Amino acid sequence: MPRPDLHDRVHALRKLRIAQGRVRVRRTITRRDGVRVEVEGRWLTEFCSNDYLGLSQQFEVVSALQDAASRDGAGAGASHLVSGHHAAHEALEREIAEWLGYPRALLFGSGFLANLAVQQALLQEDGDVCVQDRLNHASLLDASLMAGCKLRRYPHGDAEGALRQLKNAPEGAAMLATDGVFSMDGDVAPLRALSLVARMQQALLYVDDAHGVGVRGPEGRGSVAEANLGVAEVPLQLVTLGKALGGYGAVVVGDEALIQHLSETARPYIYTTALPPAQAAAALVAARHARRDQWRREKLLGLIARFRNGVQRHGLAAIESDSPIQPILCGDDASAVAMAAAMESAGYLVPAIRPPSVPEGKARLRVTLSALHLAAEVDALVEALARSRDAMQRVRGAA
């Protein structure tokens, strides 16, 4: 029997995506100014960025990037364990660890790599299991598959479900992994309850707080600190540099023994070139701003409340969330795509989010807010969302 032709398979899968309305289109940003972006010659107000504190364009952050690049060059030159670990990397790791109240930190090229590193390095034996929230980020779920451990999933936000999965898991080492703030719904994991479950079942609790650090908790220390938890309850935690800190990369913070083990054995750390030192220098300045600039969080919280009030006033189908992630449910894929197109015509960039990024039947516009937005821009966005929703309902009624 002849082998399947991969070009035929690719062609068939693309036809299926077209039929389902799930083709993803890459848009090119030609210029950017605050929350305004130029796309195909037209300026739009962006409501889909993860730059929650507006630090990606902050002048001191950009200056740190430029100064470090002029001094250290465009790249690190090697992996961390060869000759690629620069003073900027060391300073950033120390700063993040001290900010979050953890003994030590380890820098990675991305959150995806970091999540893979944690599971590959720790869940190596037969019978090891990673128990995860059903709505965890793809990087956490894929990491279990690539690490080769058992993957067990529990209903979203259900600590009792996590307990049941751990009780029924094999007798190997166990990790309980969850997002801190869920990237598609914007809600927060029940971390205190999960920490109790982990302790009862002798599992290591690992929190990916990509969307929490910088935004939540005292000094922006994230969801774990907001829940009054620390290294004793959450021995490992992921901090992204690409969301509230406005840059690129990720840091895993944890106790001394676990971080040392990762630095010596984690393949995504050992076998890749280190993050450019200039990027680390910029992230260091951004972290200091995120820690001390409480006004950014206060402004963001005010905009979130303003958006929520407007959504409620207009009866828009929003998911309950007090984070900068504010999903507006559209239902089927075609409705989400149509509404995104209507919003772009009105001057707003809010792409449609469809399965498999979200569950079937829950396609949405994933609105995200930034401290750079103005109150008037948020008000205008809500009005445009309501108009687009009403126009779609009229079309359906006429049909």
All structural domains of the chain = 22-53+294-398 (3.90.1150.10), 59-292 (3.40.640.10)
Give the CA angle between residues 48, 50, 51 to the nearest 5°: 115
Question: Would the annotation count 240 as a binding residue?
Answer: yes
**How much is the pLDDT for 16?**
92
Tokens representing 368 are: 């995200």
**How much is the pLDDT for 213?**
98
Question: Would the annotation count 222 as a binding residue?
Answer: no
Q: How many CB atoms lie within 10 A of CB 258?
A: 22
**How much is the pLDDT for 22?**
84
**How much is the pLDDT for 1?**
85
Question: Would the annotation count 111 as a binding residue?
Answer: yes
Which segments in the chain show pLDDT lower than 70?
Answer: 397-399
**How much is the pLDDT for 391?**
84
304-346 pLDDT, tens digit per residue, is: 999 999 999 999 999 999 999 999 999 888 889 999 999 999 9
Question: Would the annotation count 112 as a binding residue?
Answer: yes
Question: Would the annotation count 85 as a binding residue?
Answer: no
Question: Would the annotation count 80 as a binding residue?
Answer: no
Beta bridge partners of 96: none
Q: Mind giving me the DSSP string for 58-91?
A: -HHHHHHHHHHHHHH-SS--SBIIIII--HHHHH
B/e letters for 98-119, b = 16+ CB within 10 Å, e = fewer, are ebbebebbbbbbbbbbbbbbbb
102-115 pLDDT, tens digit per residue, is: 999 999 999 999 99
**How much is the pLDDT for 399?**
61
Question: Would the annotation count 144 as a binding residue?
Answer: no
How many helices and strands in the chain, by DSSP H and E? 14, 14
